[in-house]
């Protein structure tokens, strides 16, 4: 559906997009995830024809659109700030694209009604956009982007301006809207929850390059590199020395598979640590394991769980989720249990050159 090869976009000496390759299948929802300034929005603007690439090709359904005018590319772009026409009605906003395509009036009316039903705004054609809530305006912007039937829909931080309740609701609804529209979607965001929830596939971007592409659940369970792990919110990393399939760390020995001997970095997934509910640290047989005995130093409510911070006797401070109850009070001695199945080896962060120690982006 979409094939990008060797795409580079430069602003003076800065390469905002650096020799990028990307493909998206027909009907796929692909999220580009990365920090601010990594080149995500520039990538969308290059595909839309709003900036001129220095090198590379952009091919949409077998047609090279690299040098075409924006209005001839058959792509839709929805901006973060909605960019709605404030003095026009909902219907007029949504009708803008079909009208520019020269559709007949009755065809425009039917198409406007169709896409408004798709985004659950049926019957709002005559309402002023200034009277709508933020979530409703977001839906109107989406309907306007869908109305011209683009072969590719691109979304720039689509949920960035919404409050959490609206954002969570749209995270549930957007995949259904995309499937019903039968459209290929390329979305860029810095929000990992948004990318993982909406996308069929996620591409992590850094300094103008992709450092990892994978399915959401595989990316989360095996981030591959320290940069990707940290950007996904997996902040608990350990230094280790691997020998014979065993990684020696301050938390003890952890089995690792298919890893060469030598120094390594390990990341603890969210379910790697839990409290030992059967035995407390003082006087406990298991408390003899110094790496997993420690003292609770802080407790924080995190919505669906409580997160406690534990200063381990062996040195590191670790965060541990508690899924039932309020968790132990600060100052309490506890024993932690480590599930080696939720530990992954990651490549170290080597800097901002985009390689991140991860090697080529995985298909």
Whether residues 160 and 290 share a domain: the answer is no
- Measure the CA–CA gap between 23 and 5, rounded to whole angstroms: 9
Query: What's the domain count of the chain?
Result: 3
Are the C-beta atoms of 178 and 166 separated by less than 8 Å? no
Whether residues 288 and 334 share a domain: the answer is yes
Place of tokens 């089995």: 255
- Measure the CA–CA gap between 85 and 108, rounded to whole angstroms: 18
- Measure the CA–CA gap between 4 and 6, rounded to whole angstroms: 7
Reduce the DSSP state of residue 145 to 3 states and report it: helix
Helix axes 105-118, 134-146, angle to 10 degrees: 130
The answer to whether the Cα torsion of 186, 192, 198, 202 is positive or negative is positive
The pair of three-digit structure tokens given for residue 216, joined into one six-digit string: 């959401």
Give how far the C-alpha of residue 129 lies from the chain's centroid of Cα atoms, to the nearest Å: 29
Would you state the pLDDT for residue 351?
57
Residue 304 in domain: yes
Residue 163 in domain: yes
pTM: 0.81
Per-residue pLDDT 10s for the chain (363 aa) are 899 999 999 998 899 999 999 999 999 999 999 998 899 999 999 999 999 999 999 999 999 999 999 888 889 888 777 778 888 999 999 999 898 888 899 999 999 998 898 888 888 989 998 888 877 888 888 889 888 888 899 988 877 766 777 777 778 878 887 888 788 999 999 989 889 988 999 999 999 999 999 999 999 999 999 999 999 989 999 999 999 989 999 888 889 888 889 999 999 998 899 888 654 444 444 333 335 889 999 999 987 889 999 999 877 899 999 988 888 999 999 999 888 889 999 998 765 444 444 443 333
Residue 350 in domain: no
Whether residues 211 and 246 share a domain: the answer is no
Whether residues 183 and 254 share a domain: the answer is no
- Residue finishing a domain among 266, 296, 323: 266
Residue 138 in domain: yes
* CATH at residue 57: 3.40.50.300
Residue 36 in domain: yes
Residue 363 in domain: no
Residue 349 in domain: no
Whether residues 248 and 303 share a domain: the answer is no
Residue 44 in domain: yes
Whether residues 152 and 259 share a domain: the answer is no
Whether residues 155 and 12 share a domain: the answer is yes
Domain that holds residue 234: 228-266
Whether residues 234 and 322 share a domain: the answer is no
For 238, counting Cβ atoms within 10 Å of its Cβ (0-12 exposed, 13-18 middle, 19+ buried), the class is middle
- Measure the CA–CA gap between 236 and 267, rounded to whole angstroms: 6
């Amino acid at each position: 559906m979409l094939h990008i090869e060797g795409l580079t976009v430069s602003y003076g000496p800065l390469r905002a997009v650096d020799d990028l390759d990307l493909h998206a299948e027909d009907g796929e929802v692909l999220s580009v995830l990365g920090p601010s300034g990594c080149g995500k929005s520039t990538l969308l603007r290059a595909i839309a024809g709003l900036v001129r690439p220095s090198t590379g090709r952009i091919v949409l359904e077998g047609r090279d659109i690299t040098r075409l005018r924006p209005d001839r590319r058959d792509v839709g772009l929805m901006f973060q700030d909605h960019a709605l026409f404030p003095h026009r009605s909902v219907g007029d906003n949504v009708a803008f694209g079909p009208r520019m395509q020269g559709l007949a009036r009755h065809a425009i009316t039917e198409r406007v009604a169709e896409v408004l039903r798709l985004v659950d705004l049926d019957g709002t054609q005559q309402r002023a956009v200034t009277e709508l809530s933020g979530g409703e305006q977001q839906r109107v912007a989406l309907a306007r982007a869908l109305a011209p039937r683009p072969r590719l829909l691109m979304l720039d931080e689509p949920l960035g301006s919404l409050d959490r309740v609206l954002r969570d609701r749209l995270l549930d609804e957007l995949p259904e809207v995309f499937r019903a529209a039968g459209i290929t979607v390329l979305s860029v965001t810095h929000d990992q929850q948004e990318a993982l929830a909406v996308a069929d596939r996620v591409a992590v971007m850094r300094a103008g390059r992709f450092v990892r592409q994978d399915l959401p659940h595989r990316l989360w369970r095996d981030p591959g590199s320290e940069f990707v792990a940290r950007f996904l919110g997996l902040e608990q990393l350990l230094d280790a020395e691997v020998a014979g399939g065993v990684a020696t760390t301050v938390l003890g020995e952890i089995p690792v598979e298919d890893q060469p001997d030598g120094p390594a970095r390990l990341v603890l997934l969210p379910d790697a640590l839990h409290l030992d509910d059967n035995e407390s640290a003082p006087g406990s047989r298991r408390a003899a394991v110094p790496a997993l005995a420690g003292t609770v130093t802080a407790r924080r409510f995190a919505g669906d769980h409580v997160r406690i911070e534990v200063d381990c006797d062996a040195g590191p401070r670790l965060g541990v989720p508690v899924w039932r109850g309020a968790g132990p009070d600060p100052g309490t001695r506890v024993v932690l249990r480590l599930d080696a199945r939720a530990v992954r080896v990651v490549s170290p962060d080597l800097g901002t050159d985009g390689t991140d120690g991860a090697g080529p982006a995985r298909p």
